[in-house]
Amino acid sequence: MARYHFRDIKGESDEIKNAISIAKSYASSDSTILIQGETGTGKELFAQSIHNSSSRKSGPFVAINCASLSSNLLESELFGYVEGAFTGAIKGGKIGLFELAHKGTIFLDEIGEIPIEIQAQLLRVLQEKEIRKVGSVVKTPVDVRVITATNRNLIDEMKSKSFREDLYYRIGVLNLTVPPLRERGGDVMLLGRFFFDKYLGSDKTKFLSMFEHIMKRVNSYKWYGNIRELQNFVERISVLMKYHGNGYDFEQLVSSFISKDYSISNNEDSIEEDQVCITTSVKGNDLNKWEAEKITSALKNNDLSIQKAADALGISRTTLWRKMKQYNIKL
């Protein structure tokens, strides 16, 4: 389900307004779209918004993080399989995500992580508009709009032969680049305040001046983790404000935060490792442990449904998958 619309994309900078304008124009087309941008910039938010503004909005929106599954699992998830296709295959087989997205949109996040052998199969699906389940010789027509996203430089990936050139041109009929947060000027404070209001709720007035002081202190920070890093930071200080108030040493936290020497990188894992290295205590517990417990609880309370748990946590499926991988949370 696509629950985001263009109105949910926060920002007043020319850079984000231009990206939204281009994305809106793409919504009226049925061509493939390649969304490029650094990790944490909100690529799935754009994908969902495009779907909800398109003629396919009444159809399904199916998303998958291509980096979250092994080659064999990814193949069966995308295309499905028939009964007896492999050891452990469920009785009656399984419908793949392309079939589930029939008459709608499929969003392939982190497309640059797809193994080369799966790339060949994906190319055939895009060219022939039909899929073949694992273990079957029968082809099934599918009517699906394909949107992909990556934080990698696919041109470099093609040069190193890790990404097929023909697939690149097939998925990128239309291209959209989501700008990094550091190029969006005043949007940092606007988004920071949005997250602050979300996390503090009725307590926000009590801590507003403290929050504004902290945000001024990090005004020159580059936010290489983009919106995800900003959200992580604001949630952290919001939790500390709520449980410790003025009794916590926020100056030390902020000084440690802004003194980190980030190198500009699109590598998600290295950035996120840096993001979570600042640990503080909430009622004696490590914040990372607190976040992991929150995710585990959301999954248990929602019958292990990734979509429902992500909705309950107020994050995207992609972010939830990434956090689960970070904390080694398995279904």
CB 297 within 8 A of CB 305: no
CB 225 within 8 A of CB 40: yes
pLDDT tens, 119-142?
999 999 999 999 999 888 899 999
Q: What is the pLDDT of residue 287?
A: 63
pLDDT tens, 196-244?
999 999 889 999 999 999 999 998 899 988 999 999 999 999 999 988 8
Quick one: tokens of 145?
């709009």
Q: What is the pLDDT of residue 260?
A: 63
Q: How far apart are CA 47 and CA 6, in angstroms?
A: 10
Q: What is the pLDDT of residue 314?
A: 66
DSSP 198-240: HHHGGGHHHHHHHHHHHHHHTTT---TTHHHHHHHHHHHHHHH
Indicate the residue type of 164: R
3-state secondary structure of 176: strand
Q: How far apart are CA 133 and CA 30, in angstroms?
A: 24
Quick one: tokens of 210?
């403290």
Quick one: tokens of 318?
């992609």
∠ CA 297-298-302 to the nearest 5 degrees?
115
Q: Which domains, from first to last, does the chain contain?
A: 6-179 (3.40.50.300), 185-326 (no CATH)
Q: Is it the case that residue 114 has pLDDT exceeding 60?
A: yes
CB 178 within 8 A of CB 41: yes
pLDDT tens, 147-168?
999 999 999 999 999 999 999 9
Residue with tokens 């992909």: 148
Ranges 64-73, 136-145, 214-223, 257-266: which has the least confidence: 257-266
